[in-house]
Amino acid sequence: MTARVSAPPEAVFAILEDGWNYASWVVGASNIRHADEHWPARGSRIRHSIGPWPLVIKDSTIVVAADPPHLLVLEARMWPIGKARVRFDIAADGERTTIRMTELAVKGPMAALPDPLQAKLLGPRNRETLRRLARLAEAKSRS
């Protein structure tokens, strides 16, 4: 899934690297309980809650790889639902930026589904996540 943003890659990554801002752009994240000081360094973690009250699940997301402002790979846990690998590739595209988001369930019931079916099921959620990320990055680049 891709989005083109009217902001430079640095503005996009600035949103991704603010761990306390995670619930502002990740669909389903309801609040942040803690963000490691060195987020998004490899191995750093955000402790978050997902879902609406009273069905809130407390879990975490860990940075697998980061190459600011071009790459961020996360392992998002949502136990007992599962675990997903989420990758953001960020590239300058003229005066705009292209963000490519790839999410793949690696544990849990959804991991048994083929990748194309996972992408189709996660598509609406990921489109909204990218829309929110784009909106925040564009606002940041204007400030």
| Chain segment 54-105, per-residue pLDDT in tens | 888 899 999 999 999 999 999 998 766 789 999 999 999 998 999 999 999 9
Tell me the C-alpha distance between 27 and 96, whole Å: 24
Taken in order of first residue, the domains within the chain and their CATH numbers are 2-142 (3.30.530.20)
- pTM of the predicted model as reported, rounded to 2 decimal places: 0.93
Tell me the C-alpha distance between 106 and 82, whole Å: 7
